[in-house]
Amino acid sequence: MCRKSNLDITVANHIRKEDIMEAKKKVPRALSGDRREPPKPRPLRLANTLPYEDHISAIFNHHVDIVGRTIFMDSLHVDADGGDSGTDASMHDFCVKALTLLEQQDPTKPIKIVTANFGGSFDYGIGIYDRIKLSPCPTVLHVYGPIMSMGSVIFQAGDKRLLAPNAIMMLHYLQGSYEMHDSLGETSVAEHKRANELMLEIYIKRIKEAGKDIKKANFVRQIKNTLYLTAKEAVEMGLADGIITKA
């Protein structure tokens, strides 16, 4: 049998150690006996700055400021007479996608939503309300202009609700006419009652959270006749948290 020299043994040992170290790297944690928790995935982080043209395009074409974590949620369509689409399927779809984008970027940092809303669909509006409420990010809603009807309900979803000094809030019961003699009409009226109760619950909960006293019967009488509030009055009533002093 041929004997190996000391040099041969040293080289062989070196190779074996390198091979073992490399093999260990390839062995899955579960097989290697390593019981440490795998590292949690970090939130997706975009660059702190964007090229100027891309930043402008994101704001004006897509209504999202990724760097500033701001969503501009207004009517997405305006007709030839200047009428806006208000709360509808397009606004709902946009809100869901915009929130998802910024939440994936960082699920811990606040999101600012700048809005003005004359109202619209209750069904799509309550969907927008739910999506904002369920966001893992703190949400701050800024209103410049009108926040009316369904818009005032959506506004209550914000963790912080701020109004411009001359913003106007309007609350009222859901409106609609139905043929009372058929079963579909009766079903629709019942659904309207349920929606109105849900709307009342949302308003009253936020008013109480603001530390304000409220009697449901009095509040119902007010909004059945349509209630307009200035920014100051909305804050005093507990339907807003403050007035914007600096944009």
Q: Does the pTM exceed 0.95?
A: no
| Cβ atoms of 109 and 72 closer than 8 Å | no
CA angle 29, 33, 37 (to 5 degrees): 50
Query: Helix 89-105 and helix 122-133: axis angle, to 10°?
Result: 10
For the record, the structure tokens of 60 come out as 């004006």
The C-alpha atoms of residue 194 and residue 221 are separated, in whole angstroms, by 17
First and final CA of the chain: distance in angstroms? 88
Q: pLDDT of the chain along its 247 residues, tens only? A: 555 555 454 444 445 555 556 655 555 555 555 566 666 655 555 545 667 777 777 787 889 999 999 999 987 666 655 566 789 999 999 999 999 999 999 999 999 999 999 999 999 999 999 999 999 999 999 999 999 999 999 999 999 999 999 999 999 998 754 444 455 567 778 888 999 999 999 999 999 999 999 999 999 999 988 999 999 999 999 999 999 999 8
> What span, in angstroms and rounded, lies between the C-alpha atoms of 227 and 148?
10
Which pair of structure tokens corresponds to residue 187?
């079903």
The pLDDT assigned to 20 comes to 54
Maximum CA pair distance of the chain?
108
- The whole-number pLDDT of residue 56 equals 79
- Note the pLDDT of residue 146: 96
pLDDT of residue 228: 98
CB 89 within 8 A of CB 118: no
